[in-house]
Amino acid sequence: MNQLSVQHLLGIKHLNKNDIELIFKTADHFKEVINRPIKKVPSLRDITIANLFFENSTRTKLSFELAEKRLSADVINFSSSQSSVKKGETLIDTANNILSMKVDIIVMRHPNVGACDFLAKHVTAKIVNAGDGTHEHPTQALLDSYSIREKLGSVAGKKVVIVGDVMHSRVALSNIYALKLQGAEIKVCGPKTLIPKYITSLGVEVCPNLNEALHWCDVANVLRVQNERMDVNYFPSTREYSQLFGITKKILDSLKKEIVIMHPGPINRGVEITSDVADSSQSIILNQVENGVAIRMAVIYLLAQQIERN
């Protein structure tokens, strides 16, 4: 198959295994493109893309923008802090106003769960979810799996532990869907208060002990504690959190094998991960960022392929 089975990228939940393989194969080609002296292809020169960011972002926004520009698309950027959203405009109105300027694809980040699904039902453009609240962040999960595949050869059969604030993390949910689809084994590890009650129904195991989880795994994907999404205290103190769930060089050195360390960023150094671990040779954090551009180029290219040229 050389076409995606979906019309929008709203979440990994809607994808199948072939879609993921197609995205990875296409990303392989784009990774070669972005390492050329001239890192640009003209495929999307007649496509316009709007990046709507209703929530703060550094990496994802830059990565999407770069991916779009590398494909030669025209790009317009929008962030809610400088817009009419503050004046009370609804999401559909904002989107339709942007679409009447002849936009083909919308990349959206929104603090509310399901905002992208909602928009996909009401507007004609292709929608790419760049993170909706605590729900899904599909391109992050794709680039995480792609980075594991690059480092370890494949994802199938690998043991991955997701450490930290699983409850508030869209990265965790999308990663669980993506890794499951590719046949990886998954455990989650973190304070009991930050592990959702029904997480085991997704086919993952809960492991409350970090040391045990790290001994078991091939890959540790470390998440940030999302204080901005917490309305109550989920653990007594940051210090206690980092003592129980922070990954240090000492713990890594005590393991019998060398595991791969990943982090979707932004990192709170000294909380969920120490600096020497984040900067060590085991860490593929910066590879994840590089792969992010190739993955986003692949996703946008494959969705644009479905838009008929007038």
Partner 1 sequence: MSKKSLLNSKEIHIILHRLACQLIEKHNSFENTVLIGIQPRGVHLANRLVSILQDEYNIPTIKYGLLDITFFRDDFRIRQEPIEANKTHIDFIVENKNVVFIDDVLFSGRSIRAALTAIQSFGRPEEIELLVLIDRRFSRHLPIQPNYRGRQVDVINKEKVIVQWKENEGKDAVYIINK
**Which residues of this chain interact with partner 1, rule CB under 8 A?**
2-3, 25-26, 28-29, 32-33, 36-43, 301, 304-305, 307-309
- Cβ proximity to partner 1: between 98 and 304 the closer is 304
Q: What dihedral do alpha carbons 179, 182, 183, 185 form, nearest 10°?
A: -10
Kindly state the smallest distance separating residue 141's Cβ from partner 1, in Å: 23
- Smallest gap, in angstroms, from Cβ of residue 186 to partner 1? 31
Q: Rounded to the nearest whole angstrom, what is the least distance from the CB of residue 76 to partner 1 in the complex?
A: 20
Instruction: Tell how strand 74-79 and strand 260-262 pair up.
Output: unpaired
- DSSP assignment string, 245-305: H-B-HHHHHHSSS--EEE--S---BTTTB-HHHHTSTTB-HHHHHHHHHHHHHHHHHHHHT
Q: List beta partners, residue 110.
A: 132
Q: Which residues contact 229 (CB under 8 A, 6 or more apart)?
A: 134, 168
Which of 27, 194 has the CB closer to partner 1? 27
Cα 143–Cα 11–Cα 1 angle in degrees, nearest 5 = 75
Q: What is the smallest separation between the CB atom of 46 and partner 1, expressed in angstroms? A: 8
**CB-nearer residue toward partner 1: 31 or 263:** 31
Closest separation in Å from C-beta 10 to partner 1 = 21
Which residues, listed in sequence order, are joined to residue 261 by a DSSP beta bridge? Answer: 220, 283
CA distance 140 to 135: 12
- Residue number, 10 or 47, with CB nearest to partner 1: 47
Work out how close the CB of 30 gets to partner 1 at its nearest, in angstroms, rounded to a whole number: 8
Residue closer to partner 1 by CB (options 25, 192) is 25
Q: Which is nearer to partner 1, 146 or 216 (CB)?
A: 146
